[in-house]
Structure 1
Amino acid sequence: MSQLDAVTSHHGGGLPANADVVVVGAGITGASIAHHLARRGVSVVVIEQSRHHAAGATGRSGGMVRAYDPDPVTGELALPSLAAYRDAGCWASGRAPLHAVGAVTADHPVQGSALREAAGQINGALSASAHVVADQDEVAGIRLAGGVALVEPEAGWVDPAEVTADWLAQARVDGAVVCHGIRVRQVEARGRRPMVVTDAGTVSAGAVVAAVGPWASDPVPGLRPASPVRSRSIQVSIVERRPPAPPHATFVDLRTGLYAKPVGSDRTLLGMPHLLWDSPVDSPPEPAHAQATVAALTVHFPWLTTATQLSTVRGADAYVSPGGQAPGLLSGTGVPHVWCVRGWNGGGVKTAPEAGRRAAEACLADAFSDIA
C-alpha cells in the first residue's frame, strides 16, 4: 500500500479517546488544517463521515487556482497558496501538484486599473509574469468577447482529491489519526473541554474545528457556525476537445460567472452559475443546465459547437447566508473551543494551503489557552 493510499485505510475502530484537536471533515481544507497541526507536534484526530476523503465539495471542485481574486480576503490567502502549490518541497509525493497551464480572469474594462495593480502585487510576491490584456480578441486559447483580462501564466489547476490525500498522508506520518466512515452526532462542553460524540465513541479534545463545507448549512448540535451557512448548487460538465480545438488556460469570467479548465490533453471542464439554494448536496444533474452551460461558453470556445459532452457532475458549495455577517477564517459555534471554517463560496481549493496554516495556528493557540 502506498503512503497516499494509506489515508483511506482507517475505517471505524480505534478512535482515540483524547486529542489536542479534532478536525471534522476530510476535504481539502480539513486535510490542510490537520497537516499543519500534526507538523507542529499536535495530536490530531480527523473524523470523516464518508468512506473516503474529498467526498463532498472538494471532490467535485474544478480545482482552478490562481493568485487573483476580487475579494481581498480570498486574494490574500490565494497568493501564498499558489506559491505552495508550485513548491515541490511541500508535498509527500515529491512533486508540485500544480498543472501550470495559465489562468485568465476576464472582467469589465472599467476594472483594468484594478487588474493591473493586482498583477503588480502578484509579480512582486511570486516573481511571476502576470499581466493585463485589453482590446485583444483571444489569449491563451480563449476568446475574450470584449473586456479586459488578467493573465497569470504561472497559475492553473490542481487535482483536489490528490492534494487532500497528500496532506492526510503527511498528517498520518506526523502522528495524526484519520478516521473514515464515522459520523459525528454532537459536540458538547464537559467541564473545560469539548467532547465530540460519534457513532464510534467519544473524543475529549482541547479544540474542535469543523471543515465540512456545505454540510455546515445543516450542522450537528454543537457545530452551528455563528454566521449561518447556506448551500448553493454547483454543476460542471466534461466535454471532449478534439483537434483543431486549441489547448487553453483556465478561465473565469467575472462578468458572467462562466468558467472552464482543461482536463488533460483532450478534455475541458465547463461551469456556469447554478443559482439553486439549499438543494440536497447529492442532487442529480440537470441536463438543461448542462446544455445551457455549453451554449453560453461557446462565445469563448467556438469549438464547443461540435464537442461531445462526456459527463456532468452535481455538487454544492458553502456560502454565508445573504444578509449574514461575513465571518473571519474561523467562526465560533457557541461551544467553547469549537470552531467552524468559513464558507468559501467555491474558493476552498484556491485558498486551502494558507487557510489551513492559519486555521491550524489559531486552533493550536486555542487548544491550550485555558485547558489544565
Structure 2
Amino acid sequence: MQPLNRLAIIGGGLAGISLAYEFSQRGVLCTVFEAESCGGAGASTMSRGIVRVYDPDPWLMRQALQGLRRWQQLNKGFPGLFVQCGCLYLLKAEQTTTAQAALMQLADAGYQAQWLNGPADIVRCQPLLANRALPADQCAIWEPEGGYVNTRLACQVLAQWARDQGAVILEGCSVTAIELQAQRVAVWALGQGALSFDALSFDALVLAGGARSTELLPDTDLFCRSIPLSLLQAGHQPALAQCLIDETCAAYLRPELGGWFFAGGADQIDVP
C-alpha cells in the first residue's frame, strides 16, 4: 500500500472532522469538503451525542471506552465539549448474562459501572422512572462517567484544531462527483458562487457524508438509517438529569440546558 500523504474527507460533521483532526496530527494533509458549515448540517446538527461504554458487542465496547477517555481529554482543553452527567442503560432480558460478563470486563479495564438489579435499584438511581411500570426482572447498567457531547461545538473546535495542524476545510463546498482510480481518488466539487474545482487528486478518500453518501456512490450497498428525534421541554415537571438508553423499546433521552431534553429512537420502517 502506498504511503498516505493526501486524504480527502467528504462531510464536515463529527465523524469527518474528527478524522481530519486525528490524521492531521499524524502529518497527513487532509482536505474536508463540507456543503454547509462544520457541524451545521446532517446528523451532527441535532445529534443525541450520548457517550457511554457498555455495548452488547464486546469490540464496540472496547472502542467506546477509548472514545470516552478521548472526550474527557479533549474537554480539558475546551470545557463544554463533553458533559459528564451519567448514563443509565436499561437492558433487554436476553442481554442480562452477556451484560454481567461485560461489566466484569469494564471493571478489569478500570471503568466504574454499577449493576442495577430490579426496579427498586433503578428508581433509586433515576427517580423519574418511578412512574413507569418496570418489569420485576428489569436490570440496568449505570455509568457515572457517561454523558453527552455538544456535537455542533465539537465540530467547530475540532475543525479549528485541524486547521492549526495544516488541514484544509472547505465549507460551503459541495462534492459533485468522485472517481475511484487505480492508485488515486479524484474529487470534483462546486463551491459558493462561481467557485468550482476541477478534479483534485488524493491518495485516499473517506466518505462521511451521512445521507448524501448514497448519492455519491449509488452502486454500493451503503445504507443510511434515519432515527426520529424530538426536542422536548419538561415544563413544570422535574427535568431529566442523566442520559437514558432503553433497549427494551429502542429509545433514548438526553438532557439539554434549561429543562430541555432530546428524545428519539425507533425501529427502522423504510427498509425490509
Among 166, 170, 174, the residue aligned to 1:179 = 170
| Displacement after TM superposition at 1:165 (Å) | 1.5
Q: Deviations over 1:34-78 (max 9, x none)?
A: 011110111111001224434101212111110012233432321
Whole-angstrom CA distance in 2 between matches of 1:187 and 1:172: 24
Give the structure 1 partner of residue 117 of structure 2: 134
| Displacement after TM superposition at 1:95 (Å) | 2.9
Give the structure 2 partner of residue 160 of structure 1: 151
Which letter does structure 2 place at the counterpart of 1:204?
S
Q: Deviations over 1:326-360 (max 9, x none)?
A: xxxxxxxxxxxxxxxxxxxxxxxxxxxxxxxxxxx
Q: Deviations over 1:169-193 (max 9, x none)?
A: 1110000010011121222245632
Secondary structure, aligned partner of 1:154: coil
| Displacement after TM superposition at 1:164 (Å) | 1.5
CA contact (8 A) 1:233 1:274 kept: no
Q: CA RMSD in A?
A: 2.4
Question: Does the C-alpha gap of structure 1 residues 255 and 192 become closer, same or farther in structure 2, counting only changes over 3 Å?
Answer: same
| Displacement after TM superposition at 1:25 (Å) | 0.6
Give the structure 1 partner of residue 187 of structure 2: 196
TM-score by length of 2: 0.84
Q: Does 1:230 align with 2:223?
A: yes
Give the structure 2 partner of residue 82 of structure 1: 68
Q: Does 1:57 align with 2:43?
A: yes
| Displacement after TM superposition at 1:239 (Å) | 2.1
CA contact (8 A) 2:243 2:255 kept: yes
Whole-angstrom CA distance in 2 between matches of 1:244 and 1:157: 22
TM-score by length of 1: 0.62
Question: Does the C-alpha gap of structure 1 residues 51 and 272 become closer, same or farther in structure 2, counting only changes over 3 Å?
Answer: closer
Give the structure 2 partner of residue 121 of structure 1: 105
Question: Does the C-alpha gap of structure 1 residues 56 and 242 become closer, same or farther in structure 2, counting only changes over 3 Å?
Answer: same
Q: Does 1:111 align with 2:95?
A: yes
Q: Does 1:71 align with 2:54?
A: no
Matches within 5 A, 1:360-371: none
Give the structure 2 partner of residue 250 of structure 1: 243
Q: Does 1:101 align with 2:85?
A: yes
CA contact (8 A) 1:64 1:156 kept: yes
| Displacement after TM superposition at 1:112 (Å) | 2.4
Give the structure 1 partner of residue 18 of structure 2: 32
Secondary structure, aligned partner of 2:140: strand
Among 39, 43, 46, the residue aligned to 2:32 = 46
CA contact (8 A) 1:141 1:246 kept: no
| Displacement after TM superposition at 1:244 (Å) | 5.0
Whole-angstrom CA distance in 1 between matches of 2:39 and 2:263: 24
CA contact (8 A) 1:99 1:157 kept: yes
Secondary structure, aligned partner of 2:215: coil
CA contact (8 A) 1:239 1:269 kept: yes
Which letter does structure 2 place at the counterpart of 1:128?
Y
Whole-angstrom CA distance in 2 between matches of 1:49 and 1:224: 19
Which letter does structure 2 place at the counterpart of 1:210?
L
- Percent identity between matched residues is 24
For structure 1, the 5+ residue unaligned runs are 1-18, 279-321, 323-372
Secondary structure, aligned partner of 2:6: strand
CA contact (8 A) 1:54 1:160 kept: no
How many pairs align? Answer: 254
Which letter does structure 1 place at the counterpart of 2:108?
G
| Displacement after TM superposition at 1:205 (Å) | 0.8
Q: Deviations over 1:226-276 (max 9, x none)?
A: 5x1233332222222245525431111111102111112512221131534
Give the structure 2 partner of residue 219 of structure 1: 215
